[in-house]
Amino acid sequence: MNEFEEALQLARRHSGTEPNLDTVLIAEDDAMFRRILMNWLEKWGYQVIAAEDGSSAWSILQSGDAPQIAILDWMMPGMDGIELCRRIRSEQGRYRYLLLLTAKDEKQDVVTGLDAGADDYLTKPFAVEELRARVRAGKRILELQEALLQARDALRFEAAHDPLTALWNHGAILDFLKREFDRQQRTHQPLGIMMADLDYFKKINDTHGHLVGDTVLQQVARRFRQALRSYDFVGRYGGEEFLMLVPGCGLADLIATAERLRCSVADQPVATSVGNVPVTVSMGLASTAEEGRDWQDYRQLLCAADAALYVAKSEGRNRVALSPTAVTAKQHGR
């Protein structure tokens, strides 16, 4: 599994999108028939959650890991199967497969049930194998839904992430910068940004090849992610450049964070197929906490960090530099 696939899988887990397709909810007020249904489903390998009326079933369906398949009796006290179907269909989110059990067999009754949101129905009494086939059909539909959702999530993830490092891509990290800058203008909480550039990266590619260069980029990206807070942002700005956003971080803390990131790269060479490759980074910083600056646009912050990166590189690389304006302010004691 590469960096991109690992990050996509992690994102899906954190978003709570893992479905529950092997658990079935039964809503049936007849205790004996409810037990018979449970025995059949458990024999077929399903886990079963049982409710004795529609209201209890509705409460169960509000939980985060509620079953995606529900077998609902039409006639129940409190809330019947028809009303329960309507409530379920009024919700947003993942589709549930609803199988309605009824003693009604008139055509209009069937239409009423399907119009309420049921996917299928069984008329009591029914054959056991018919129930099993209907539940299997429901699971196939939900599995197809899951495959489509995974494809959609992958496309969304790919559109916003760099395929090599699995970091936010250029467009996404700039979107986050604009959003965080707008937030800073409202809340007046400091926002710091760091622009990092791998030193002599072209030499690494020329000496060891681009596959080794890719490994270096991936490992540096991983170290940046691990060294930052969960609510910070790190993106691949382009080539061997990275952009990091550190909300709520004053100037002194921003410098300390940048030094920690620089050391996380410089203190340990990157293990590659050709052996250990020493890597260093130059970093340019800018912060809305700088005194004497009236930041009107997020692009100003970006330009300031870029200018600071140029200073870090011109002064020998493998170092952290503040934007020239911040240095001037510090020298004048502001």
Known catalytic residues?
Answer: 240
HEC string of 127-188 equals CHHHHHHHHHHHHHHHHHHHHHHHHHHHHHHHHHECCCCCCECHHHHHHHHHHHHHHHHHHC
Report which residue type is found at 206: D
Q: At what angle do helices 81-90 and 54-61 cross, to 10 degrees?
A: 20
Read off the tokens for 208. 């060891």
Residue 150's alpha-carbon distances to 4, 6, 158, 284, in angstroms, are 14, 14, 12, 38
Read off the tokens for 26. 């039964």
Report which residue type is found at 177: L
Phi, psi for 10 (deg, rounded to 5): -65, -40
Phi, psi for 199 (deg, rounded to 5): -75, 130
Contact 221, 3 (CB under 8 A): yes
Q: Distance between CA 22 and CA 48 in Å, rounded?
A: 9
Residue 282 exposed, middle or buried by CB count within 10 Å (0-12, 13-18, 19+): buried
Q: Distance between CA 221 and CA 203 in Å, rounded?
A: 19
225 sits in which H/E element: helix 210-227
Look up residue 44 and give its DSSP letter.
T
Residue 287's alpha-carbon distances to 231, 244, 304, 329, 333, in angstroms, are 17, 12, 9, 13, 17
